[in-house]
């Protein structure tokens, strides 16, 4: 066999170097993708609230129910104390989840507040509707004279008639922290750490959910963004409602009163100079953008 020429040997060496480079690049890309995917799975999804030295932590599904409960109080013009009582009660009764079963104390208990059809709270279907259940709770709460100044245990017990009346008190700090943020009394008090959304959102669907929660809020769809006309406490209530619902609604960014929450950053609310008088809620588009 004839020996390889110098030029051919050089060409083979260049080819070998090129193939090795391509292999290293491909390996680097694979490693980077794997690292990103691995990092996503390691994210501990949670929502936190801080207000006046108090704090609380909820799973994203619990936070979404907390936002629903608090929005109902805002819609009815009730004080944050009403939301605090409702949140502490729902946490004790159902862990802030809309469960379709009861317990030994009430086998027919259902929903966020474990209300019982046999005790006149409504039909099972009504009780399993979170909006109905929340308003039924508030209907009973506002009939209690001076409920705003009662201990949470006393106010909750007068509504629920629980076999364990002292248990509500253990959730007071969580209730007060989330109620303060979600009613807008504490700006930038509620934030969520979430993985990236896996599906596209729909700003029109966000508008529907928002209207059901608050009623009568002025909003308009602008592509992947829902623009809500609101300011002050209402703006912060709506903005933090959006953060609490970000997981289910594929929300990736919320802007309000000069601040922005970016889902991807995980850094909570940041001062960005966004305009006052508007809340902008942006969802992930079908192609992964915003």
Chain segment 144-171, per-residue pLDDT in tens: 999 999 999 999 999 998 777 789 999 9
Quote the pLDDT of residue 121. Answer: 95
Quote the pLDDT of residue 260. Answer: 98
Q: Which residues of the chain have pLDDT under 70?
A: 1-13, 15-42, 102-106, 289-290
Chain segment 252-270, per-residue pLDDT in tens: 999 999 999 999 998 999 9
Q: How far apart are CA 74 and CA 184, in angstroms?
A: 9
Note every long-range contact of 254-260, with CB atoms under 8 Å and residues 24 or more positions apart, other chains counting. 254/279, 254/280, 254/281, 254/282, 255/279, 255/280, 255/282, 256/280, 257/187, 257/231, 257/232, 259/187, 259/188
Question: Could you give the strand order of the β-sheet that contains 225-229, starting from the edge strand earlier in sequence?
Answer: 219-222, 225-229, 278-283, 251-256, 259-262, 269-271
Quote the pLDDT of residue 38. Answer: 44
Q: How far apart are CA 32 and CA 191, in angstroms?
A: 28
Q: How far apart are CA 82 and CA 67, in angstroms?
A: 13
The pTM (predicted TM-score) of the whole model is 0.84
Residue for token pair 């599906």 = 199
């Amino acid at each position: 066999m004839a020996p390889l020429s110098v030029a051919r040997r050089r060409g083979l060496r260049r080819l070998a170097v090129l193939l090795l480079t391509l292999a290293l690049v491909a390996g680097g890309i694979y490693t980077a993708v794997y690292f990103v995917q691995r990092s996503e799975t390691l994210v501990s999804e949670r929502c936190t609230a801080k207000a006046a030295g108090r704090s609380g932590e909820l799973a994203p599904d619990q936070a979404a129910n907390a936002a629903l409960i608090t929005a109902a109080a805002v819609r009815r013009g009730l004080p944050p104390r009403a939301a605090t009582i409702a949140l502490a009660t729902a946490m004790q009764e159902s862990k802030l989840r809309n469960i379709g079963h009861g317990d030994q104390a009430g086998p027919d208990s259902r929903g966020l507040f474990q209300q019982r059809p046999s005790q006149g709270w409504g039909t099972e279907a009504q009780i399993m509707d979170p909006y109905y259940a929340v308003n039924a709770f508030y209907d009973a709460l506002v009939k209690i004279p001076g409920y705003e100044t009662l201990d949470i245990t006393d106010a909750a017990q007068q509504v629920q008639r629980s076999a364990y009346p002292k248990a509500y008190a253990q959730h007071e700090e969580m209730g007060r922290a989330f109620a303060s943020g979600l009613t807008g009394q504490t700006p930038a008090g509620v934030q969520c750490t979430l993985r990236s959304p896996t599906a596209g959102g729909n700003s029109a669907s966000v508008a529907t959910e928002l209207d059901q929660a608050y009623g009568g809020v002025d909003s308009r769809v602008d592509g992947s963004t829902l623009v809500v006309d609101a300011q002050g406490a209402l703006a912060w209530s709506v903005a933090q409602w959006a953060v609490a619902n970000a997981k289910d609604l594929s929300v990736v960014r919320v802007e309000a009163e000069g601040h922005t929450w970016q889902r991807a950053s995980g850094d909570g609310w940041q001062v960005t100079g966004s305009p006052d008088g508007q809340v902008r809620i942006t969802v992930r588009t079908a192609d992964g953008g915003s």
